Amino acid sequence: MATRIDGKAMAATISARITEETSALKQQHGLVPGLAVVIVGEDAASQVYVRNKQRTAEACGFHSVKHALPATVGEDELLELIDSLNGDAAIHGILVQLPLPGHIDETRITQSILPSKDVDGFHYVNIGKLTAGATRDAFVPCTPAGCMLMIEEQLGKDLSGKTAVVIGRSNIVGKPMAALLLAANATVTICHSRTPDLAAVARGADVLVAAVGRPHMVGGDWVKPGAVVIDVGINRIEIEDGGEKRAKLTGDVDYDAAMEVAAAVTPVPGGVGPMTITMLMSNTLRAARLQHGIDA
């Protein structure tokens, strides 16, 4: 039986350290990290994510601000808000929750955030640094950053000689995940919906990252014996429970089947999700320090 990678526990440990460092930053420099989260519309999943981000920011001792805008808001009005947050000295990190309504150009929005406040790591300046291998200099997107820490915990920082397969090529997860694995010296393959025989490619992976958004797509027969499996999927499915239907969160990986084959697997929930939020706090603390020229 494989190891269950406890993302929740790991995130709690890192959050505790961030809370301590935030307290020291306040005492020594009178500086409070500030995070602004912008949400547009009523998407239920986004509301939950934003609430969790705010709650964690407050628990870390941050100054936390939420801007909730109606789904009908114009792109110009959203750009004006970001402009004012860019110029707000109390705000060190800005996150605009995605997806945005169809009439708003997501790229225009993400590229309007100052790279120094881009704690999501979506600005081209940060993407450029990451893909150029300047990972220490970049704000790295939170989900792949969290995945990488969990992989490091299992295999160490140097993945020389290891093969890594990332299923999914999104800008939020797949592409930055591949860049991080490459920076750690893994031999990396990115797969997607047009890849023939995904299962065969996945079976070659010492590190398998699934980020496709299809419940249980990765079966036990997709997993190489002894692999580390990271499940980024958060899918809401309906199950029968005592004759009643209820919603349940599940990953892209068939967890029970993968646990029979792999060396280590992240569960859903309790794996990647909590680590993503903690990496947002880590990026925000770092942004505050960098904007004030304070070394960690």
Residues serving a catalytic function are 53, 97, 120
Considering the rule CB under 6 A, would residue 97 count as an interface residue with ligand GUN? yes
76 contacts: CB under 8 Å, gap ≥ 6: none
The helix (H) or strand (E) run that includes residue 3 is: strand 3-4
Considering the rule CB under 6 A, would residue 96 count as an interface residue with ligand GUN? yes
**Which one, of 245, 207, 247, 210, lies nearest residue 227 by Cα?**
207
Site for ligand GUN in 125-164 (CB under 6 A): 142-143
Considering the rule CB under 6 A, would residue 109 count as an interface residue with ligand GUN? no
Q: Which stretch binds ligand GUN (CB under 6 A): 63-71, 96-104, 131-139, 195-203?
A: 96-104
Nearer to ligand GUN, 151 or 232 (CB): 232
Q: Which stretch binds ligand GUN (CB under 6 A): 89-97, 125-133, 210-218, 243-251?
A: 89-97
Judge whether 281 and 155 are in contact, CB under 8 Å.
no
Cis? peptide before 99, omega within 30° of 0: yes
What burial class does residue 52 get, using C-beta atoms within 10 Å of its C-beta: 0-12 exposed, 13-18 middle, 19+ buried?
middle
Judge whether 165 and 229 are in contact, CB under 8 Å.
no
Considering the rule CB under 6 A, would residue 25 count as an interface residue with ligand GUN? no
- The least distance separating ligand GUN from the CB of residue 29, rounded to whole angstroms, comes to 28
Q: How many Å apart are CA 124 and CA 112, to the nearest integer?
A: 10
- The least distance separating ligand GUN from the CB of residue 97, rounded to whole angstroms, comes to 5
Q: Which stretch binds ligand GUN (CB under 6 A): 61-69, 91-99, 127-135, 160-168?
A: 91-99
Nearer to ligand GUN, 97 or 126 (CB): 97
Please pick, from the candidates 18, 35, 95, 100, the single residue that binds ligand GUN as defined by CB under 6 A: 95
Judge whether 230 and 150 are in contact, CB under 8 Å.
yes
Reading the block at residue 214, the tokens are 């299809």
Judged by CB under 6 A, the number of residues near ligand GUN is 8
Q: How many Å apart are CA 272 and CA 275, to the nearest integer?
A: 5
Binding mask 39-78 for ligand GUN (x = CB under 6 A): ----------------------------------------
How does DSSP assign 134-203, residue by residue?
-TTTSPPPHHHHHHHHHHHHHH-S--TT-EEEEE---TTTHHHHHHHHHHTT-EEEEE-TT-TTHHHHHT
Please pick, from the candidates 21, 118, 120, 231, the single residue that binds ligand GUN as defined by CB under 6 A: 120
Q: Which stretch binds ligand GUN (CB under 6 A): 17-25, 26-34, 90-98, 285-293?
A: 90-98
Q: Could you list the residues that contact ligand GUN (CB under 6 A)?
A: 95-98, 120, 142-143, 172
